[in-house]
């Protein structure tokens, strides 16, 4: 304890020294006087002392927990217990689903619109989860497929008047094809190198959209994209927002259903094996090429669907919606939620998109909070909010 206090004191002195020039000295140029703000020095000292103390305490607690886990007496948090116990989890999911279904009637149009974007991100997160979480292929250009989806609806509609319902599968398919196109050159790459190439790919798509005016109308984008019609009836703004809301809820449920089935299948196991050890995975007879390309294609498909819905929701798209920052946000959703964990990705997507909307008061500090929470997450909970757990297979040898 005494040792800890001493260490924290050292930290606080170091911080007071470091911040001295900016926090204490203030040069007033008009009056040519120097103002010494000693009060700030004390505040920095006390603040850094306490923060360092808490930091150390949390680290120690984490180390203790890890030790306990190693000895096999680790206890999962109440949070996880609820999630992993079907008795509690089921009603919880049902309540959550009912809440989601009733959402547009409880809250205003504005809130519903925010929820639509959050659910689009749920879909994007789950799609990227296939590539990054399951197959372990770090993809920093995922937003490119989102752009492909959005532009395929916008352009097909502009040139050929193709309606939303036809554009939805086409957008998904085109994104899947682009996934394979990206997949081929990066088959041999892994880790950092893969990340760099995918980052480049994302930028290439954005730059093409920005500069090829004849094709994509450049930075001014495409406007007047029609909202989806319901059996040929064109809906008003309010009705169609509600309609899009239910559409995206439906699509999210489909995504969850498909990703869940995929991850516990022969293909899902092959992806995870690929993530765990590429050489051993091949030695077990898994075709690396086919498995990787399938991961890229299936991951991209959801981004394509998301893009079509996004275009239909906003009725206007331009390349500014598909910057690297979007890729980074989708990737943080996957990492924060827990790689390969469906519940985790959903929770993280809702937090990442809804919190900034409802905390508009702190919007100046948004990036600061975002960065700080990322650092804290990686230090204290690197496995994500809800770590993925593998399926347990029940097999009773007596029932042969």
Partner 1 sequence: MNKKEPILDVKNISMHFGGLKAVDKLSLQVYPDEIVALIGPNGAGKTTFFNCITGIYEPTLGDVFVLRDGKKRRLNGLKPNKVTELGLARTFQNIRIFSNMTVLENVMVGRHCRTKSWVIGAILRDKKTRQEEIETIEYSYNLLEKLDLHKFANEMAKNLPYGAQKKLEIARALATDPVLLLLDEPAAGLNPQETSELKDIINKIKEEEKISILLIEHDMKLVMNISDRVYVMESGRLLAQGTPREISQNPEVIKAYLGEEHA
Q: How far is the CB of 70 from partner 1 (least distance, A)?
A: 10
Q: How far is the CB of 8 from partner 1 (least distance, A)?
A: 36
Q: Are 296 and 138 in contact (CB under 8 A)?
A: no
Task: Indicate the angle between helix axes 38-70 and 366-380, nearest 10 degrees.
Answer: 30
Q: Hey, what are 228's tokens?
A: 């989806």
Q: How far is the CB of 287 from partner 1 (least distance, A)?
A: 5
377 vs 78, 235, 260, 326, 372, CA distance in Å?
18, 43, 25, 20, 9
Q: How far is the CB of 298 from partner 1 (least distance, A)?
A: 7
Q: Which residues bind partner 1 (CB under 8 A)?
A: 258, 261-262, 265-270, 272-273, 275-277, 279-288, 294, 298, 390-393, 395, 397, 400
Of 136 and 307, nearer to partner 1 (C-beta) is 136
Q: How far is the CB of 258 from partner 1 (least distance, A)?
A: 5
CA distance 210 to 323: 11
Q: Hey, what are 273's tokens?
A: 């094996």
CA distance 121 to 123: 5
Q: How far is the CB of 244 from partner 1 (least distance, A)?
A: 25
Of 106 and 279, nearer to partner 1 (C-beta) is 279
Of 162 and 262, nearer to partner 1 (C-beta) is 262
CA distance 161 to 223: 14
Q: How far is the CB of 257 from partner 1 (least distance, A)?
A: 8
CB neighbours of residue 393 within 10 Å: 6
Q: Are 292 and 267 in contact (CB under 8 A)?
A: no
Helix (H, G, I), strand (E, B) or coil at 161: coil
Q: What phi-psi label fits residue 315: left (phi over 0), alpha (psi between -120 and 50 degrees) or beta?
A: left
Q: How far is the CB of 5 from partner 1 (least distance, A)?
A: 38
Of 88 and 257, nearer to partner 1 (C-beta) is 257
Of 180 and 262, nearer to partner 1 (C-beta) is 262
Cβ-proximal residues to 316 (8 Å cutoff; 6+ apart), any chain? 221, 222, 223, 224, 225
Tell me the CB-side half-sphere exposure of residue 342, using CA atoms within 13 A: 18
Question: Which of 336, 318, 14 lies closest to 150, judged by CA?
Answer: 318
Of 136 and 228, nearer to partner 1 (C-beta) is 136
Q: How far is the CB of 286 from partner 1 (least distance, A)?
A: 5
Of 32 and 266, nearer to partner 1 (C-beta) is 266
Of 11 and 251, nearer to partner 1 (C-beta) is 251
CA distance 24 to 392: 60
Q: Are 374 and 139 in contact (CB under 8 A)?
A: no
Of 268 and 337, nearer to partner 1 (C-beta) is 268
Question: Which of 303, 313, 112, 301 lies closest to 228, judged by CA?
Answer: 313
Q: How far is the CB of 280 from partner 1 (least distance, A)?
A: 4
CA distance 258 to 275: 20
CA distance 294 to 7: 52
Helix (H, G, I), strand (E, B) or coil at 228: coil
Of 263 and 314, nearer to partner 1 (C-beta) is 263
Of 7 and 391, nearer to partner 1 (C-beta) is 391
Q: How far is the CB of 339 from partner 1 (least distance, A)?
A: 10
């Amino acid at each position: 304890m005494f040792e800890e206090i001493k260490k924290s004191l050292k930290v606080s002195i170091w911080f007071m020294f470091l911040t001295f020039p900016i926090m204490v000295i203030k040069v007033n140029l008009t009056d040519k006087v120097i103002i010494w703000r000693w009060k700030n020095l004390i505040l920095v000292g006390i603040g850094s002392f306490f923060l360092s103390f808490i930091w150390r305490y949390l680290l120690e607690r984490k180390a203790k927990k890890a030790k306990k886990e190693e000895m096999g007496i680790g206890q999962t948090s109440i949070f996880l217990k609820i999630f992993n116990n079907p008795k509690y989890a089921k009603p919880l999911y049902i309540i959550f689903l009912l809440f989601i279904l009733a959402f547009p009637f409880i809250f205003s149009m504005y809130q519903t619109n925010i929820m639509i974007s959050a659910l689009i991100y749920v879909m994007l997160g789950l799609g990227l989860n296939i590539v990054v979480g399951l197959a372990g292929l770090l993809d920093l250009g995922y937003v490119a497929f989102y752009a492909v989806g959005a532009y395929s609806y916008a352009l097909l509609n502009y040139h050929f008047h193709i309606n939303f319902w036809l554009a939805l599968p086409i957008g998904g398919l085109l994104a899947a094809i682009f996934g394979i196109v990206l997949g081929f050159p990066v088959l041999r790459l892994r880790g950092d190198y893969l990340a760099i190439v995918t980052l480049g790919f994302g930028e290439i798509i954005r730059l093409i959209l920005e500069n090829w005016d004849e094709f994509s109308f450049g930075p001014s984008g495409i406007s007047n994209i029609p909202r989806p019609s319901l059996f040929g009836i064109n809906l008003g703004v309010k009705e169609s927002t509600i309609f899009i809301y239910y559409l995206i809820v439906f699509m999210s449920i489909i995504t969850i259903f498909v990703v869940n089935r995929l991850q516990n299948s022969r293909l899902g196991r092959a992806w995870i094996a690929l993530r765990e050890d590429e050489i051993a995975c091949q030695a077990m007879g898994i075709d690396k090429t086919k498995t990787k390309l399938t991961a890229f294609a299936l991951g991209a498909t959801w981004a394509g669907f998301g893009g079509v819905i996004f275009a239909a929701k906003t009725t206007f798209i331009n390349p500014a919606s598909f910057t690297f920052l979007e890729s980074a946000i989708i990737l943080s959703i996957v990492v924060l939620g827990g790689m390969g964990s469906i519940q985790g990705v959903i929770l993280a997507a809702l937090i990442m998109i809804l919190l900034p909307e409802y905390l508009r008061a702190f919007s100046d500090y948004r990036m600061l909070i975002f960065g700080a929470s990322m650092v804290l997450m990686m230090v204290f909970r690197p496995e994500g909010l809800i770590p993925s757990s593998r399926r347990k297979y029940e097999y009773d040898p007596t029932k042969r």
